[in-house]
Amino acid sequence: MANISSLVNTLVDKAIEKGLIQTSDRIYARNQVLGLLNEASYQEDAELLNLAIPDTLEELAEQAVKKGLIEGLLDESEQLTAKIMDVFMSKPSEVNQTFYLKYQESPEQATDYFYQLSKDSNYIQTKRIANNIQFKTASDYGDLDITINLSKPEKDPEQIKREKEMKQDIAYPKCLLCAENEGYVGRIGHPARSNHRIIKVPLEGEDWFLQYSPYVYYNEHSILFAREHRPMKINRNSFARLTAFVEKFPHYFIGSNADLPIVGGSILSHDHYQGGRYTFAMTNAEEEFSFQLNTFSDVEAVVVKWPLSVIRIRHADRSKLVDVSDYILQKWREYSDTDADILAYTDETPHNTITPIARRRGELFEIDLVLRNNRTTDEHPMGLFHPHEDVHHIKKENIGLIEVMGLAVLPPRLKDELETIKKYLLDEKVTVAEYHQGWVQSIQDKHSNITQDNVNKIVEDALGQKFARVLEDAGVYKTDQTGRDAFKRFLSHLNEG
């Protein structure tokens, strides 16, 4: 293990190289880091190590455990390393000032600066994200993105025990998305955010804030959240904010999870959106057919060839799209079609909502309205328009915004399970999990010549096809003729009184 002086010298040097601090800040930064490590002395001629910032921080955390400063629980290590990186961070006001100075040059320069800062400061966990398995696979709907999520470290038993023992009445910050997380040191069970910065983005008369996801799933994966801690709600204001955001940042898309359980995302307690600089399969999906909206005859409207049920609308005036989106949402919330298994309510419980996504296409604004329904049945207790039981072996969690657009976020267990499946397909003596056996048999039935050279592609393609099935399950209108006829009944309903 390298000595503390070398590690500190390396970290300070890397921070200067990344532009986090100036050369003249070297002694100050060094002393601040030494103080956090309870280290009284420093070796002036300490060598520079060939380590990136995340690796250097990991070694410093190990030194802190060795010195007895922390016990080595994940949350304790992260609190220390976030505090260390905060030494190199500008104050929130200065970060915002730099962002908006760069914004005057171009929105891209502003977000480039903030994204790089979030990575260099180790807020975005670049080293852990590199562990993810990622690939594209062809489908009937375009090239789908597959991610096996290996970036989030598993909690050890002691950490889980501590979390249970901790008093659960701490209500600060109220949730993981609140603005009060900026600079928050963290505690057992709540992540360290000392090195966290957020950008104030006023939208439609309200304060909203931009940050990046610590575990980005795609390029510039960002989160936009309200200052007020309030539940997620899809309404007219949502469409106004989404289009206002892409007006300010035309190189980003922005979308919202649905606002109901089962079809919504993982955090429904705080109003927020997700965006970024990435083109998903759904963005490039073919347009299946156009239709006329009588009340809004100048707005272009199409149905997208996609496993979920997507209405795409375009216009140069974003206010027109806000009107149309709100109109369609209100019509959909009250719409039932028993022949298509769509019920708007069970007693007083609502089922219909929308997952909206906004982007720019040149001078035009574009909104995708993905129709969602969260009804459950005896046959499908987890959700009628949710991954069905026969695909749970790869995915049974909610289909949120990211999956809706064609990026699968699959569980870590699949890493080892897929390797076992590949070995089995190559006639090695291994045991495939029971819940995968039917799938593996179908792969064998389809491919008569599986070799070392093609087994990876065969399994990856089969996984992509299975994810397409997951998305088809989530579509309220299926892509067959019966489903399209039912979809057209709803489109006709939009032109009724």
SS in 3 state form for 239-308? HHHHHHHHHHCCCCEEECCECCCCCECCCCCCCEEEEECCCCHHHHCCEEEECCCHHHCCCEEEEECCCC
pTM for this prediction:
0.94
Q: How far is CA 9 from the centre of its chain?
A: 35
DSSP reduced 3-state for 474: helix
Q: How far is CA 366 from the centre of its chain?
A: 21
User: Quick check: 96 and 69 in contact, CB under 8 A?
Assistant: no
Q: Which pair of structure tokens corresponds to residue 110?
A: 């502003």
Q: Give pLDDT, residue 344.
A: 96
Q: How far is CA 221 from the centre of its chain?
A: 6
Q: Give pLDDT, residue 152.
A: 72
Return the DSSP state at 337: B
Give, in degrees to the nearest 5, the angle at Cα 468 between 354 and 275.
45
Q: Which pair of structure tokens corresponds to residue 190?
A: 């709540």
What's the sign of the alpha-carbon dihedral 478, 313, 404, 281?
Answer: positive
CA dist 365 and 275 (Å) reads: 15
Per-residue pLDDT of the chain (497 residues; tens, 9 = 90+): 679 999 999 999 999 999 999 999 999 999 999 999 999 999 988 999 999 999 999 999 999 999 999 887 888 999 999 999 999 999 999 999 999 999 999 999 999 999 999 999 999 999 999 999 999 999 999 999 999 999 876 655 665 566 666 666 778 999 999 999 999 999 988 899 999 999 999 999 999 999 999 999 999 999 999 999 999 999 999 999 999 999 999 999 999 999 999 998 778 899 999 999 999 999 999 999 999 999 999 999 999 999 999 999 999 999 999 999 999 999 999 999 999 999 999 999 999 999 999 999 999 999 999 999 999 999 999 999 999 999 999 998 889 999 999 999 999 999 999 999 999 999 999 999 999 999 999 999 999 899 999 999 999 999 999 999 999 999 999 999 999 999 999 999 999 86
Q: What is the phi/psi pair of residue 456, to 5°?
A: -60, -50
Q: Which pair of structure tokens corresponds to residue 224?
A: 């936009």
